Structure 1
């Protein structure tokens, strides 16, 4: 994955320079933006492999940048927050961020997190092993990242699709919230399982009328069933 282009978004120049130094030492290419508007422009024009996104930005804050990026693409996002508040982490994940890191951070940890995200977001299936999953009137296409219910497309955000696919691939198996966090978000976020509940609620609403259910197994987690 060395040589991948990383977009650093932060209005603190010293953070950009320090992160760039460590990333370049590891073989990555780096571009940067110092406000939210420029971040969106660079993301569209340069097509980076990953965005490191600070929350507190001029012109357009990190929340809005994340929302707009996620509406347009599956670009992996590592969110930076200056506060260690749980609410920042939860909201960031719900908006579609792939991971978070609290400032001040060790630049080696930043590089390690970036490597982990890039590994997780690589295609999870070998060529030829990405056939659509069909369950009654529901079809999930991993290659095209599309979902049909009764032949009609369902608009899912990136993490909603990933969560649905993880559940469908484990049909009939009870998955804990912690396991789902690990499978979908790719890191241990123990104690912050509310983001899984929120995404499940969104899926249930969007998949209404489908011949599948996401069953709540109280005190444990969730199970994907065919009705």
Structure 2
């Protein structure tokens, strides 16, 4: 599954160039031009990394970075034409993972994106009571206990955890887990969910992340 990069930038030509270079590097992209939309978009869509301009219509990039850090550890690279050292330190202290100054080469941006993702170890780390998912090794831990998931179980948990609160039908989950479109029963998902719940309870009996929604499907939500 290609990693999705959110580009938050109000220079439309620059956005188009960055999209092209990131696409050629194997990434999916999305873009926003107004600062007021960013935090809610990140909550709803769970990008792999955010390229965040400092000066935006509606809201300052530093304020956006600060809010995102209240609910997400998504990597953030800040982009700006302001090279003042105070701004640079302030941006990093508020939780930015890197900083790139304009004008820059699109190739440099792609290299920075890859470097930050590599440094993060390709991990999806949630704030849900100690759950950590390491995509590079298909390793899941809860409260420092390894869950010993199968590849399918890991993909299922990772997909649900990427968008807490969002409800997915069994069909939607099958399409994400079985990319080869093999024919399986919708009840196969129920079986995987049952095993996941058992392994999570084994690591922490008081924790339940995966919830059934009657007549709709499943969602991930921390207590």
Q: Which category describes the TM-score, using the shorter chain as reference length?
A: 0.5 to 0.7
Aligned-partner Cα distance in 2 for 1:66–1:28: 22
| Paired residue secondary structure (1:19) | helix
Aligned-partner Cα distance in 1 for 2:105–2:62: 23
Q: Which residue of structure 2 aligns with residue 76 of structure 1?
A: 75
Q: Which residue of structure 1 aligns with residue 35 of structure 2?
A: 36
- Number of aligned residue pairs: 134
Offset at residue 131 of structure 1 (A): 8.7
Structure 2 residue runs without a partner (length 5+): 124-133, 147-223
Per-residue CA deviation, residues 174-224 of structure 1 (Å, 9 max, x unaligned), is xxxxxxxxxxxxxxxxxxxxxxxxxxxxxxxxxxxxxxxxxxxxxxxxxxx
TM-score by length of 2: 0.55
Work out whether 1:89 is the aligned partner of 2:88. yes
Aligned Cα root-mean-square deviation (Å): 2.4
CA 39–128 in structure 1, closer or farther in 2 if over 3 Å, else same? closer
Q: Which residue of structure 2 aligns with residue 116 of structure 1?
A: 115
Aligned-partner Cα distance in 2 for 1:95–1:63: 7
TM-score by length of 1: 0.54
Per-residue CA deviation, residues 23-61 of structure 1 (Å, 9 max, x unaligned), is 011111000000111222321222110000000011111
CA 130–110 in structure 1, closer or farther in 2 if over 3 Å, else same? same
Alignment of 1:1-40 (within 5 A): 3-40=2-39
CA 127–78 in structure 1, closer or farther in 2 if over 3 Å, else same? same
The answer to whether the Cα contact below 8 Å between 1:81 and 1:88 also exists between their aligned partners in 2 is no
Aligned-partner Cα distance in 1 for 2:42–2:36: 10
| Paired residue secondary structure (2:31) | strand
Alignment of 1:45-194 (within 5 A): 45-121=44-120, 122-123=122-123
| Paired residue secondary structure (1:71) | coil
Structure 1 residue runs without a partner (length 5+): 133-140, 144-227
